């Protein structure tokens, strides 16, 4: 039950045992190394990553194609831009690059409406 403990410690808002069990059933654990791209610009976002370990750098591109740093996402958080894309079924307007080795739980977006 390491996953359950990690969810409870990193996302205390998920305090409902039934919800945690559902998340564990449908979510998939992934590990990514430094500099790997988690989400890229114009990618269809079909999963919401819940970061359990590590950190991710969020960037966008300006009109000239230059990367512009927005913010970091660390464990216990998720990317606001990704959440918005998931909920609105839009393509990503940001790039998420692993800054520190990351472990995350990927939740299919179709479950978010059901759980909310």
Per residue in 67-79, pLDDT tens?
A: 999 999 999 888 8
Is there a domain that residue 19 lies in?
no
Please give the residue range of the domain that contains residue 70.
Answer: 26-115
Instruction: Calculate helix-pair angle for 17-26, 2-10, nearest 10 degrees.
Output: 120
Q: Is residue 21 part of a domain?
A: no
Check which CATH number belongs to the domain holding 105 and give it: 2.60.120.10
Taking the alpha carbons at both ends of the chain, their separation in whole angstroms is: 24
Tens of pLDDT, residues 24-81: 899 999 999 999 999 999 998 888 888 999 999 999 999 998 999 999 999 988 887 7
pTM: 0.83
pLDDT (0 to 100) of residue 110: 84
Each residue's pLDDT tens digit, 91-110: 888 999 999 999 999 988 88
Distance of CA 20 to the CA centre of its chain: 16
Sign of CA dihedral 24, 28, 33, 38: negative
Could you tell me if 109 and 86 are in contact, meaning their C-beta atoms sit under 8 angstroms apart?
yes
- Domains in the chain, number: 1
């Amino acid at each position: 039950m390491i996953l359950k403990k990690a969810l409870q410690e990193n996302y205390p808002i998920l305090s409902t045992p039934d919800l945690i069990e559902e998340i564990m059933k449908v979510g998939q654990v992934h590990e990514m190394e430094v500099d790997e791209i988690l989400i890229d610009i114009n990618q269809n976002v079909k999963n919401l990553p819940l970061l359990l370990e590590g950190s991710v750098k969020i960037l966008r591109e300006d009109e000239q194609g230059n990367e512009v740093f927005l913010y970091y996402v660390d464990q216990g958080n998720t990317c606001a831009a990704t959440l918005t894309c998931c909920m609105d079924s839009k393509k990503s307007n940001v790039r998420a690059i692993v800054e520190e080795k990351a472990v995350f739980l990927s939740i299919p977006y179709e479950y978010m409406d059901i759980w909310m």
